[in-house]
Amino acid sequence: WFSGAVKINVSLVPPLVLLPVFLHVAALHFLLGLIILTSLPVVVLWYYYLTHRRKERTLFFLSLGLFSLGYMYYVFLREVVPRGHVEYSQVVALTCGLILMLAALSRAKKDPGYLPIPAGNEEPSHQGLASKGVRGSSSGLHGISGAASSRAVNGEAKGYCRMSAGQPEGVKKDWCTKCQLVRPARAGHCRLCGRCVRRLDHHCVWINSCVGEHNHQAFILALSFFMLTSVYGITLTLHTICRGRTPFVALFYCPGAYSDYSSALLFTCVWYCAIVTAGMGYILLIQLLNISYNVTEREARLALRDNTGRRLLGGLVIDTGQYNRGLLCNWGHFLSLGSSPPQRSAEDIV
């Protein structure tokens, strides 16, 4: 680089090179487009499960998402706008949607609510916890004594305790042996970030960060702005290359789409955007349902593992019943996340 060598993460590079190549090759013929657009999601899912199984962090998905946005916007300005069927106000609206989405994404990339790591690596005293019935075990796990401990909802596979669902929310605490701290209710340890996060929902590979108490709202905003902007861009493009047809019909039947290379490239990009939008739409739907039942992805996963939750809406949402207080109260709780600094208990200070 101008000021010397710069180390670049290798996972950033493949999307920058392969995405334009694949889209341009797919535009050469209908069958090539069918093969490439079918194989791309399979390859992305395979790479996701590979990195997830190895517990590796990667910038591949963030690079793919951001470069896809930039490249689709570039193709729109270069191929769609010059045809004269898109008004100036529509271009401005699409650009504003993109900017708002990037602003929300930037906010979602910030601190999700990491719990501060105690100074040093010494395990704090458990005297305060003992008064609440927390006992150590030979395996290094901690649990609540009594029959209520069988209903575990706030733990992981190993490394820390699972607390009773019957305790008041302000009392439930558990000990993380990895971070050496007492976690508040609904907090969890992310094995990819190596940190405990307040109200941990999940680790999102698309932003390469956890989704927790402090950035969950921004994450939902980013997904919402992406859906609106993507659907609007797809609609404008299909109205340009398939005049006189509704966007849904044009997506499956667009005569003349491969009559010239420019139209074929636009049609290929539209289908690529439609596939990505469908995947993000599914993620947004699950998130909205979870918020409506006041359950996080982590809590739903643990409830499935321990068989303590109810499958609702065909299995789209898992209701643990622990924090569900009705639709309005659940959304009010979500909208108030991070509005005030968390109260620190005596155990946190110790």
**Per-residue pLDDT reduced to its tens digit, 82-97:** 998 999 999 999 999 9
Contact residues for 139 (Cβ-Cβ < 8 A; gap 6+): none
- pLDDT of 74 reads 96
| Coil vs helix vs strand at 248 | helix
* Single-letter amino acid, residue 199: R
pLDDT for res 122 = 44
**Active-site position among 176, 204, 269, 273:** 204
Backbone dihedral region for residue 56 (phi beyond 0: left; psi -120 to 50: alpha; all else: beta): beta
Give residue 120's pLDDT band: very low, low, confident or very high (50, 70, 90): low
Asked which of 62-76, 126-140, 230-244 is least confident by mean pLDDT, the reply is 126-140
Is there a catalytic annotation at residue 204? yes
Q: Is the pLDDT of residue 197 over 50?
A: yes
> Structure pTM?
0.80
Dist. CA 15–CA 12, nearest whole Å: 7
What distance in Å separates the CA atoms of residue 300 and residue 308, rounded to the nearest whole number?
9
